[in-house]
Chains A and B, each alone.
Chain A
Amino acid sequence: MRYQQYLAWSVLLRLFHWSFALSVVVLVTTGFYINFPWTNTMLEGGRSFPVATMFYIHFIAAFVFTAAILARLYLLLFGNRQERFWDFLPITPKNIANLFKTIANYLYISDKYDRRPGHNTLAGTFYIVTFIMALVQVLSGFYMLYPENVVWQTWGLWLLGPLQHARYLHYLIMWYFILFAFIHLYIVVWTDIWHKEGLISSIVNGRKFTPDKS
């Protein structure tokens, strides 16, 4: 079978993807450490600041993460066809049908793969959920980082309640990201094996493949 190549993902989307992915790895690693600083020492005067350093790395990654989220927000509204949110949310009859077809395909119920130029709507729905989780993570994170700032304090108190509540939520949502990363990796590899569209390489070079109908 012959395949046609097309540009699915813009440079900005690919940049978003990898800065997001890398920052999440760093944030989860340092987040675990912040939650439970396991390097305990009795040594004094060592002039090493493991906990302060871990926080510092967490905050740097947090800013990368936030920048990535803002880039994605822009693309959700003004990106190319595949990148806009109405392309991959189950909000039109066609998209809703795609949701069920995709689930059936993933569960080996049907061999039919409802091919789409961008995300299928099952993936798309989860990407939006993840996007919202990321927003909560940014809000709770900045609320904890700048608790004395009037803006963060006002929004934080209004949306998340007292700081400790934000911290608790921040920790629980970390587990969402771990689960998401795990499932995401599995499905991506699975899809790459079962459906020949060059899914994994597309997030590196931007190009996907579709069967050449002509």
Chain B
Amino acid sequence: MSRHDFGNEGNMRVDRRTFIKGCTMAAAALGLSETMVPKLVAAATSAQRPPVVWLHFQECTGCTESLLRASHPDIGRLILDIISLDYHETVMAAAGHQAEQVLQETISKYDGKFICVVEGGIPTKDGGIYCKIGGRTAVDILAEVAPKAAAVIAIGTCASFGGIQAAKPNPTGAVGVRDLVKNTPIINIPGCPPNPISFLGTVLHYLTFKRLPRTDQLGRPLFAYGREIHDQCERRAHFDEGRFVEQFGDEAHRQGFCLYKVGCKGPGTFSNCPAVRFNGVGAWPVGVGHGCIGCTEPEFWDTMTPFYERLPGVTIPGGGKGIVTGATSVGMKILGVTAAAVGIHAAVGIGKRVVKCKKCNNTPDEQE
């Protein structure tokens, strides 16, 4: 919990020191030189704060929560200082029709100028009835708001790629923003939850340079998602030198060795977690002894599970649901069956030769 939550409710704004500290952290995350910090600060404190509409769809509000709970500096409040959050269902005071009215006003008044932040996946099956706000489906709301926005920021893996709702068998047909919005620039800040610094950095980049940061092929800003976790991990030396945790709680685990063999998905996951860390206390999953679960990647609920194994199991169809076993055991079994088949084939061949060659002294080929 943030230290600002106690004692100074009266002062909602962050002090200047915290403000500059936040901008400096964002500059560092963006890979900008410190000489750029004043520019970021100037952009962040300019009179016209960009209006922001924050839409919540199929989600757990964890992204908002982690943003508001971020501390040292109080990034949640810093962001609220930088932007003008006109519509946000979780933190706004208005409710019901009043809230709907705010949304309508904002998107018409700032047509083409506001930033639309989307949190949560969007269900598309059965006319999108699985997520409705004020009687309207998420698909409809997004279709109305997104085209009017200057840019859409999809925060969290759900808004970026569909997230857990989109995991197999995806009963509600959930998708990410990029699958529905085509003509508005989209930036994805995936993660479950994403690092608030990555969000702050994107916003500050946009304010300072008037354009969105460069992204990879999945629309994730390169400054935050440009490198694999595995390539920045503090346990990498243990990996290269072959020191692995075999089981949680074993001696190797207590020594802080590499978590590869207990399913760490650091190889194959792009994020700045090892560098930026969370909650202002320098913590991140691998740092505290738990493997990366790959939460910034598309389909991570399907491809990164089981979380404590290197690779997903193989589903053998049949018997209703089918059985799931490890890929290695499947491979071994198929090889065993093949070896048996080869053995039988060879035995038949030998048998045939014995029979044939009693009748003649020629090999079959020579009779052709």
Q: Give A residues with C-beta under 8 Å from B.
A: 1, 35-37, 39-44, 46, 48-52, 108, 111-113, 115, 144, 147-148, 150, 153-154, 157, 161-165, 167-168, 171-172, 174-175, 178-179, 182-183, 186, 190, 194-196, 211
Contact A113 B304 (CB under 8 A): no
8 interchain residue pairs of minimum CB distance: A163-B268, A175-B331, A52-B240, A164-B303, A50-B242, A153-B217, A51-B242, A162-B297
Known: A41-B243, A186-B346, A194-B364. 13 other contacts (CB 8 A): A35-B311, A36-B310, A43-B243, A46-B241, A48-B241, A108-B352, A147-B268, A148-B216, A150-B217, A157-B218, A182-B335, A195-B365, A196-B366
If A49-B241, A171-B327 touch, does A36 touch B261 (CB 8 Å cutoff)? Answer: yes
A196 touches B363 (CB 8 A): yes
Question: Does B311 lie within 8 Å of A49, measured CB to CB?
Answer: no
* Contact B365 A168, beta carbon cutoff 8 Å: no
Name the contact of B297 in the complex, choosing from A44, A148, A163, A178 (C-beta under 8 A): A163
Residue in contact with A37 in the complex, picked from B244, B303, B335, B342, CB distance below 8 Å: B244
B309 vs chain A, min Cβ distance (A):
11
Contact at A148–B338, with CB atoms within 8 Å? no
- CB-CB < 8 A to A211: which residues of B? 368
Q: By the criterion CB–CB under 8 Å, are A113 and B365 in contact? A: yes
> Which B residues lie at the A interface, using CB under 8 A?
216-218, 226-228, 239-244, 246, 251-252, 255, 260-261, 265, 267-270, 294, 297-300, 303-304, 310-312, 314, 327-328, 330-331, 334-335, 338-339, 342, 345-346, 348-349, 352, 363-368
Listed by A's residue number, 15 A-B pairs whose Cβ atoms lie within 8 Å are: A37-B244, A37-B260, A37-B261, A40-B243, A40-B246, A42-B255, A52-B241, A150-B217, A162-B268, A164-B303, A168-B327, A171-B311, A182-B339, A186-B345, A196-B366
The answer to whether B268 touches A49, judged by C-beta atoms less than 8 angstroms apart, is no
CB atoms of B217 and A157 under 8 A apart: yes
Is the CB–CB distance between B348 and A108 below 8 Å?
Answer: yes
Cα A40 to Cα B364 in complex, Å, equals: 54
The CA of A69 and the CA of B100, in the complex, are separated in Å by 61
B327 engages A172 (CB within 8 Å): yes
- Residue in A42, A167, A179, A186 whose beta carbon sits within 8 Å of that of B311 in the complex: A167
CB contact under 8 A between A111 and B367, given known A153-B216, A172-B314: yes
B28, chain A: closest CB distance, angstroms = 20
Nearest residue in B to A166 (C-beta to C-beta)? B268
Whole-angstrom distance from the CB of A158 to the nearest CB of chain B?
9
CA of A154 to CA of B363, assembled, Å: 56
